[in-house]
Amino acid sequence: MSRDLLKSYRFREERQADWEKLDFILRRAEINGVRSLTDDQMMALPRLYRQAVSSLSVARSISLDQNVIVYLESLCTRAYFFVYGARTSLGERMMTFLRRDWPAAVRGAILPTLLSAFFFFGGWALAFFLCLQDMEWYWTFHGQGFMEGRNPDATVEYLRSTIYNDGYGEGQLSAFSSYLFNNNAQIALFAFALGFAFGIPTAWLLVYNGVTIGSMYAVFWDKGLGYEFTGWLMIHGVTELFAIVLAGAAGFVIGGAVAFPGRLSRLSSARAAGQKAATIAMGCVIMLIFAALLEGFGRQLINSDTTRYLIAGGTLILWLAYFYIPRRGYAT
Amino acid sequence: MTETSQANPAPPRAAQTAHAQQVAAQRRARMQAQAQQSKLVRKLVTPEGAVLQLKLATAAERAGAFLIDVAIQWLIVLVTLFGLTYSITAMGWGTANIAFAFWLVFFFFVRNFYYIFFEIGQRAATPGKRALGLRVAARDGGRLTANSVLARNFIREIELGLPIQFLMMSGDQFSAWMGLLGITWSGIFLLFPIFNKDKMRVGDLIAGTWVIRAPKAKLMRDIASAASTAPDVAGRFSFTPEQTDAYGIHELHVLEDVLRKSTPDIKKQVASRIRAKINWQAQTGETDTAFLQAYYAALRRRLEQRMLLGDRKTDKFDVR
């Protein structure tokens, strides 16, 4: 009887139980997570994986059973990605991101950050000084009916009222700030993603945002509200503008890698830079959430200029310390 | 050696050559399809030194997965929005505003982090990709890092999100031009996977990833074992070497598919064609399935023997 069986079938019969065991373990890990595996299963996994891989090599050369080969291909691929894939949970990944990856990525991109800051504050300064010389520039930058009447025609009293919390209901403002968060976060992601076109759209986006804020700044400055407006803007602006500058830096990291790949091929250069830059962009989203919280709640509840300045300075010191103070024990 | 030359005694000569041409054309088409398929296969050498064959997902499969994911995203967004507006009457205006603020943030996360959330997990695939048996993998065969997942999905924003954003921002007079620009822009990015051999999006390019097919396969019963144990098959059939040399590996695989998947009607047709080709006289009480199983086992045994000696007979035209 056994002489009658095909060699390839006997081969399969001897190993089938192990394949199925591996299949079972993988399915369980895929559905319920790694933690659901018992110690025995964890111990058996590498052996079963190696066995399945060698079965596949043998099966390719001795078996013509299509189903067996397709099955083993799929089993080995799944097992390979499981065995050599990341075994960390989402929480662990977030922790390494916060503790190491994010500050390291920001620290590694100091030049792009400075470049990005140059474009943003350059646009700001340009608009500010142009507007101070001739307020007509404001209308060139903004068009009519923008920024809820915060324009050169507004009275000092009206402008002052927009800085302190009088005219608005609380809820309305928190909705407004989460709308702004959406907008800013989207712009930050665009600034990152557009970087691959040699960073040119990123630079434009930065200058444009700088011009918007700079011209508004000029309006308040012109009316003698510079000090108060700075407090109003900077309580969340330190975090928000920092985030936008960093998002621009992420764009420049990619743009620089694509434009000047050095010894690498353009593709692998973009790939190496893309991962670093994505880390920065992800961090920007987190910063913008902080900014939105400060804007939505902090700014409405705190009406004293001194406290606003204190918070602004405090956040600046915190971010700088978080990003740029070198850490022990982590090689970047 | 065409099929008709053996099956029918004397077909007219013109019809014979026409048929031969048709068969040759079919074979060429099949070879071409195979070559097309093998263009999508990438070899991954594991640290154990074994070769895994990864099959890249086609652009069509990726589009399908993407549409499923977009549908799910819209469903989440709309359901939560309706739920919110429905319950808003129960709240005061202040609470409603705060709830709406949270919904806006939620919307942002669904829009940008839906893909990241699923692809960062163990299966490295969104529900749409899972449904089509796809997954994301690092191009160098290493582990798929969280950074890669972030990069490939943030880039998605400029492929689709940016034009949509511009369309919404643009005023009336520019809308036609902006629309055109947006469509061209998105068109370039959406068609990008079709025009590179690795079927990568721009996001894949920058993140160092690609999307492969990783469908789950089921291990089915070996047909050859059924042939040697089933009472109505075992011992009843014995084929001569000429009969088992009539077909090659391609036909064996087709026969396997027929036996596993097709209807009795198709089995009957296939069985009668094989009988004609190998000059098999049907015995009394012989069923088509039993005959096909027995012939499959014999053919596989013969082809596997030849393969062990380094002789792969790819199909019935492969005569050496």
Residue in chain A closest to B51 (alpha carbons) equals: A57
Instruction: Give the residue from B37, B41, B43, B46 with the most A CB atoms within 10 Å of its CB, the best one to mutate.
Output: B46
Residue in chain B closest to A191 (alpha carbons) equals: B158
Residue in chain A closest to B151 (alpha carbons) equals: A278
A299 in contact with chain B, both atoms CB, cutoff 8 A: no
Token representation of residue A155: 């009275």
Residues A118-136 pLDDT 10s: 999 999 999 899 888 888 7
Residue type, B180: L
DSSP state of A190: H
Closest in A4, A9, A196 to B206, CB measured: A196
A37 in contact with chain B, both atoms CB, cutoff 8 A: no
pLDDT at B26: 85
**Which of B215, B196, B200, B105 lies closest to B156 in space, CA to CA?**
B200
What's phi and psi for A67, nearest 5 deg?
Answer: -60, -40
Q: How many angstroms separate the CA of residue A172 from the nearest CA in chain B?
A: 6
Q: Residue B184 CB: number of other CB atoms within 10 A?
A: 11
A68 in contact with chain B, both atoms CB, cutoff 8 A: yes
In three-state secondary structure terms, B126 is coil
Residues A105-114 pLDDT 10s: 899 899 999 9
Residue in chain B closest to A50 (alpha carbons) equals: B48
**Which of A131, A119, A101, A124 lies closest to A218 in space, CA to CA?**
A131
Prediction ipTM score = 0.81
Length of chain A measured in residues: 332
Least confident of B88-97, B108-117, B195-204: B88-97
Instruction: Give the residue from A12, A65, A204, A246 with the most B CB atoms within 10 Å of its CB, the best one to mutate.
Output: A65
Residues B121-153 pLDDT 10s: 878 899 999 999 999 999 888 888 888 888 888
Q: How many angstroms separate the CA of residue B110 from the nearest CA in chain A?
A: 12
Residues A134-183 pLDDT 10s: 887 777 777 655 556 666 777 777 777 766 654 444 445 566 666 777 77
Residue in chain B closest to A81 (alpha carbons) equals: B143
Over range A306-328, report the average pLDDT. 88
Interface of A with B in 189-218 (CB under 8 A): 189-190, 192-194, 196
> Are A67 and B93 an interchain contact pair (Cβ–Cβ within 8 Å)?
no
- Does the structure show a pLDDT above 80 at B243? yes
Closest in B47, B53, B135 to A73, CB measured: B53
- Cα A70 vs. chain centroid, distance in angstroms? 39
**Which of B183, B181, B189 lies closest to B59 in space, CA to CA?**
B189
Closest in A56, A190, A285 to B162, CB measured: A190
Q: How many angstroms separate the CA of residue A45 from the nearest CA in chain B?
A: 15
Token representation of residue A173: 């403002």
Q: How does DSSP assign B281-312, residue by residue? A: PPPTT--HHHHHHHHHHHHHHHHHHHHHTT--
Asked if residues A79 and A52 have their Cβ atoms less than 8 Å apart, the reply is yes
Could you give the C-alpha distances from A251 to A103, A237, B83, B203, in angstroms and in order? 17, 20, 38, 14
Cα separation, B155 vs B112, in Å, equals 10
A185 in contact with chain B, both atoms CB, cutoff 8 A: yes
Residue type, B248: G
- B16 beta partners: none
**Which of B76, B77, B102 lies closest to B91 in space, CA to CA?**
B102
Q: How many angstroms separate the CA of residue B14 from the nearest CA in chain A?
A: 37
**Which of B106, B197, B112 lies closest to B152 in space, CA to CA?**
B112
Strand-strand pairing, B209-213 and B51-56? antiparallel
> Are B147 and A296 an interchain contact pair (Cβ–Cβ within 8 Å)?
no
Length of chain B measured in residues: 320
Q: How many angstroms separate the CA of residue A84 from the nearest CA in chain B?
A: 6
Token representation of residue B80: 């939560």
pLDDT at B94: 64
Cα separation, A306 vs B271, in Å, equals 92
Average pLDDT of chain A to the nearest whole number: 83
- Cα B238 vs. chain centroid, distance in angstroms? 38
Could you give the C-alpha distances from B111 to A223, B75, B77, B115, B116, in angstroms and in order? 41, 12, 9, 9, 10
Q: How many angstroms separate the CA of residue A20 from the nearest CA in chain B?
A: 9
Residue B208 φ/ψ region, left for φ over 0, alpha for ψ in the -120 to 50 degree band, beta for the rest: left
pLDDT at B239: 84
Cα separation, B191 vs B183, in Å, equals 12
Asked if residues B233 and B290 have their Cβ atoms less than 8 Å apart, the reply is yes
- Find chain B residues with C-beta within 8 A of A78's C-beta: 214, 216
Residues A19-59 pLDDT 10s: 999 999 999 988 887 788 889 998 999 999 999 999 999 99
Cα separation, B158 vs B47, in Å, equals 37
pLDDT at B231: 65
Could you give the C-alpha distances from B28 to B23, B46, B252, in angstroms and in order? 9, 34, 18
> Are B155 and A196 an interchain contact pair (Cβ–Cβ within 8 Å)?
yes
A102 in contact with chain B, both atoms CB, cutoff 8 A: no
Over range B97-117, report the average pLDDT. 82
Residues A271-302 pLDDT 10s: 888 888 888 988 888 888 888 778 777 766 77
Asked if residues B154 and B113 have their Cβ atoms less than 8 Å apart, the reply is no
Token representation of residue A263: 């010894």
SS3 content of chain A, % helix, strand, coil (to 5): 85, 0, 15
In three-state secondary structure terms, B219 is coil
In three-state secondary structure terms, B65 is helix
- Does the structure show a pLDDT above 70 at A329? no
Strand-strand pairing, B51-56 and B134-138? unpaired
Q: How many angstroms separate the CA of residue B9 from the nearest CA in chain A?
A: 33
Cα separation, A52 vs B217, in Å, equals 14
